[in-house]
Amino acid sequence: MFFFVLGVLVSVLIYYKLIRPCSYWKDRGVKHARSWPLVGSMGAVVLKRRPFATVSLDLYNKYPEERYVGYMQFTQNFLLIRDLDLIKKITTQDFNHFQSHVRFGQSDSDPLLSKNLLFMSGEEWKSLRSSLSPAFTSSKMRNMYLMVEECAENFVNHYQADVE
């Protein structure tokens, strides 16, 4: 009797932790890549058949008419945003709602890199993002264009002189 109850509990736990999350995007009516328990949509990456970048590009190209596509990386759900207007809205108007994004690497080993927006999340990210936003207004970017163009030309000329 004990082993029967234990088996039922383990089965229920496996269902709710491994199998049910695979239907996350389907339950919400979002087009999505097929997911498997534990590996999600990254089976080819786990088996080293294809690199992550190729799998991501294939996912992007598979749904050309969708504004966004759902997929899973292992047991975590992700949303791939395809629509440029939606990306612009998220990164400009709605950025306060996206403070807890996935970090792009470990920042503990490099104190300078840890101050980068890509390596921050939560309140620390929100604070830095708010202080940086005024520096990148459209008028300031327009004013910097000539300087950036001049620097790029100097860079190209410097390396072309080395080649010749």
Cα–Cα distances in Å, from 7 out to 16, 38, 126, 160? Answer: 14, 20, 46, 70
Instruction: Please state whether beta strands 76-81 and 68-73 pair in parallel, antiparallel, or not at all (unpaired).
Output: antiparallel
Q: What's the pLDDT at 106?
A: 60
User: What would the pLDDT profile of 40-75 be if each residue is shown by its tens digit?
Assistant: 888 888 888 889 889 889 889 998 999 999 998 888
Q: What is the CA radius of gyration of the chain?
A: 22
User: What would the pLDDT profile of 87-125 be if each residue is shown by its tens digit?
Assistant: 888 877 877 776 666 665 565 677 777 777 777 777 887
Query: Which one, of 14, 96, 149, lies nearest residue 22 by Cα?
Result: 14
**Sign of the C-alpha dihedral computed for residues 74, 70, 17 and 19 taken in this order:** negative
Query: The pTM is what?
Result: 0.64
pLDDT, the chain, mean: 83
Query: Six-digit token pair at 27?
Result: 């339950």
Q: Is there a contact between 114 and 108 (Cβ–Cβ < 8 Å)? A: yes
DSSP 41-54: T-HHHHTTSS-HHH
By three-state DSSP, how is residue 13 classified? helix
Determine the average pLDDT of the residues in 9-28.
86
CA distance 129 to 111: 18
Higher per-residue pLDDT: 164 or 71: 71
- Is the confidence at residue 30, as pLDDT, over 80? yes
